[in-house]
Structure 1
């Protein structure tokens, strides 16, 4: 992820092309549909054993947090058309903190790290230097691989242990996954209007999967009647934050990993729009990311990250203005004020959600390999890539009995294979001597986890 990579030959004036209000709303809605931003909060709700109403509330607060963060980032911080959505990276750590120390400690752990990220952007203005020094493609790619690989066992295990008949659950999961794979493939290969099917592939697979699940009695809509159509958001919807030092330290490390993830999106958007990603924009992006996470945490939302899937929509539509992105942020906030819609989403069976999640983990992991393939496969680089993957698996596969005997901070840390793998990649890349042949084959690295 070299910020000095060759700038694409794109007419930069196109990025600032005027877009009408109607077009902005339509394109903004399309961007929101492409994000599938309800998946991470639903996974987290499942890991925390939330009820359907609490799950709906978490999804609701996530929509609002992401909308606010998007408006901040695209509107005045980074000033690039970047959509902000919930990151998959912190899920394991947040679940560990929430189940061990309570939801208050989980929410409280988000606030200091968010402020630190913002301060690195402004007024300290050192984030751009950190990116150039510590986040080369070999580290970024390995982190993305580790994210997908670390989350995959959780998705698969949730399918195995889902309530109900095992055979029926496997059938529903298989149908859901097959629909998603088919839609993604058709959308990728088609040169006609069918290419847009990829934009709504997750929504289609969730809908069809839920329909199949309903035949087995796995869908319960009883909570819908009790939920309101419209409701204003409230601060600290899950209770007042509690500040646990161990939880704060692990989330500070997680935030650094999230910034690695989101930096890839910024370079992707920069390339698609033709806008220069200089130090000012990098620092502004860190400030916007941190501020968005900070404000979002007050509503109970999870840490946000830039979504590169939205850069793909920009490439397809050719509209590079920030107005549709800001409109998308407003739409997310409005949707977050509709509890009945959030309850409808929360009614999707866990086996359907985790089937989609498992496929998304594969996509995340393979996107990481796309970045890594640009790195020369020398002995040194293979160690930098392979050892973090091994350590991430070591953490994920650690027996529960062993995990229970560890101190709290070690429990939080080990529960997140992503944190262990990412830090290992960073440290190994710094301490292992680098020779000329270890260099990157190309600077055009723009792939991101989402």
Structure 2
């Protein structure tokens, strides 16, 4: 991918994300995206609903609302409207970054309407500052994006491991050989289908492995579909079902910090998927994507949902399958809409064991990390500070992953910003790139201690100026 600031945009016919694969392929690949992110999108309403003391039926409504809103947000992001939507294969859904703040608001004695009001007001503030974020693309050279993409993949590995162990730490058999064995079987199926299948089967390896893994689990008595018909088959989301939003300054301020994190993470995801599918991402396109995120977050509380953002695990699915079409992901948005209207279909997908998701997730999330490493391989490390920037950024991003309670004794706003390894790495990489590559005063001429890590001759031929804005995220 060439310079995002100076290269003319590709025509609509040239853009890889505009490929039309046909309805059957769109449905199959779109369903694969839904399976990949389903566990993540229902986790937030499950956690929030339990914290708010909702009855199981009300939690079910909350889940359906999040699925429905995720579908709307995905369609806006992939198909786009003027000034809204980056038109990239990005699946949108309720952001996990808001969970800690939502729980803090609820624990302070507030109700769900206070949470919804905070989300709406904070998203409006985020919408107003998107022009600032859309202009920061020149501060995202491969040095920064590679560090962030690598951290995205690494930060998702604990999720895959938790799924592989059973997904529920309180359930019997969590971490047992049966769950881990099922995850391993799913992983083996993915690898075999990728190696032995034709191109179509290889691209569908994740979906097929999930189906086969679920069949194995059903045969072994590890899942059942007996409760699929429990509850209504069809339900339309009710506007303001949980009450009209309430606006409290403290709650809005704390949620605005979450919005800043969401903007950083969404920027990273947009740039990451642009790198993976090799399409230029300029400031206009980044701004369109961020505006879609913020508008979706503003509208979400109307349907009973929360902050919306791109799902990093689906970025990994794009990387591992090579399916770049945004129409595939738009189809997954339609499927999410249907799931929000037909809870019975949601209950079918919910029957897929977490261990099966874990086996597939290992490949998906590892692919994201590998994509970041591939981007970092194109960075020039000779006679500059780039190696220490990468080392510090990735290391800083790993802190909340390796030690989830690291920030427990810090002020709440610090924990909110840095509890995510993605936002931690993004913030550190941007700041260090500015400090060392843009504000060069005080830098040593030949910082060979750090450059030596590349194993290259320090007297090599002239290299690119590390301050030069990324020619792109990939070549």
| Structure 1 counterpart of 2:128, from 119, 128, 146 | 119
Q: 1:186 aligns with which of 193, 210, 223?
A: 193
- When residues 128 and 181 of structure 1 are mapped into structure 2, their CA distance, relative to the original with a 3 A threshold, is farther
CA apart distance, 1:350: 3.5
Mapped contact 1:172–1:213 kept (Cα < 8 A): no
- Find the counterpart in structure 1 of residue 27 from structure 2: 29
Aligned to 2:267: 259
What does residue range 98-117 of structure 1 map to in structure 2 within 5 Å? 98-102=102-106, 104=112, 110-112=119-121, 114-117=123-126
Change (3 A) 1:237 1:146: farther
Distance change >3 Å, CA 363–CA 302, structure 1 → 2 = farther
Structure exhibiting the larger radius of gyration computed from Cα positions? 2
Post-superposition offset of 1:166: 5.1
Asked whether 1:129 is paired with 2:135, we answer: yes
Distance verdict in 2 for CA 1:426–1:238, change over 3 Å: farther
Structure 1 CA distance, aligned partners of 2:322 and 2:420?
34
In structure 2, the gaps of 5 or more residues are 441-462
Q: Is the alpha carbon distance of 1:45 and 1:173 closer, same or farther for their aligned partners in structure 2, counting shifts above 3 Å?
A: farther
Answer whether contact 1:120 1:286 (CA < 8 A) is retained.
no
The counterpart of 2:172, out of the listed 160, 164, 167, is: 164
Cα separation, partners in 2 of 1:136 and 1:298, compared to 1, 3 Å: farther
88, 109, 116: which one aligns with 1:82:
88
Say yes or no: does 1:207 pair with 2:211: yes
Aligned to 1:296: 300
Aligned to 1:371: 375
CA distance change for structure 1 residues 72 and 437 in 2, over 3 Å: closer, same or farther? closer
Hey, what does 2:233 align to over in structure 1? Answer: 229
Confirm whether residue 176 of structure 1 aligns to residue 205 of structure 2. no
Q: Which ranges of structure 1 fall in alignment gaps of 5 or more residues?
A: none
Q: CA deviation at 1:428?
A: 1.0
Q: Pick one of 138, 145, 148 that aligns with 1:140.
A: 145
1:381 and 2:386 matched: yes
Contact kept? 1:177, 1:356, Cα under 8 Å: no
Q: Aligned equivalents of 1:387 and 1:315: distance in 2?
A: 31
Q: In the alignment, which residue of structure 2 is the partner of 1:339? A: 343
Contact kept, 8 Å, 1:31 with 1:313, in 2: the verdict is no
Which position in structure 1 is the counterpart of 2:13? 12
Q: Structure 1 length as normaliser, TM-score?
A: 0.75
Corresponding residue SS for 1:304: strand
2:151–2:422: 8 Å Cα contact kept in structure 1? Answer: yes
- The Cα of 1:327 is off from its aligned counterpart by 5.5
Instruction: Please name the residue that 1:94 is paired with.
Output: 98
Alpha-carbon distance in structure 2 between the residues aligned to 1:419 and 1:210: 34
Could you tell me how far 1:291 is from its partner in structure 2? Answer: 1.9
* Match in the other structure for 2:258: 250
Inter-CA distance 305–398: structure 2 relative to 1 (3 Å threshold): closer
Residues 82, 66 of structure 1: alpha-carbon distance in 2 compared, 3 angstrom cutoff = farther
Aligned counterparts of 1:412 and 1:288: Cα–Cα separation in 2: 23
Cα offset, 1:334, TM superposition: 2.4
2:403 corresponds to: 398
When residues 263 and 115 of structure 1 are mapped into structure 2, their CA distance, relative to the original with a 3 A threshold, is farther
Is contact 2:228–2:348 with CA below 8 Å preserved after alignment? yes
Give the direction of change, closer, same or farther, for the CA distance of 1:263–1:15 in structure 2 (3 Å limit): closer
Residue 56 of structure 1: CA displacement? 5.6
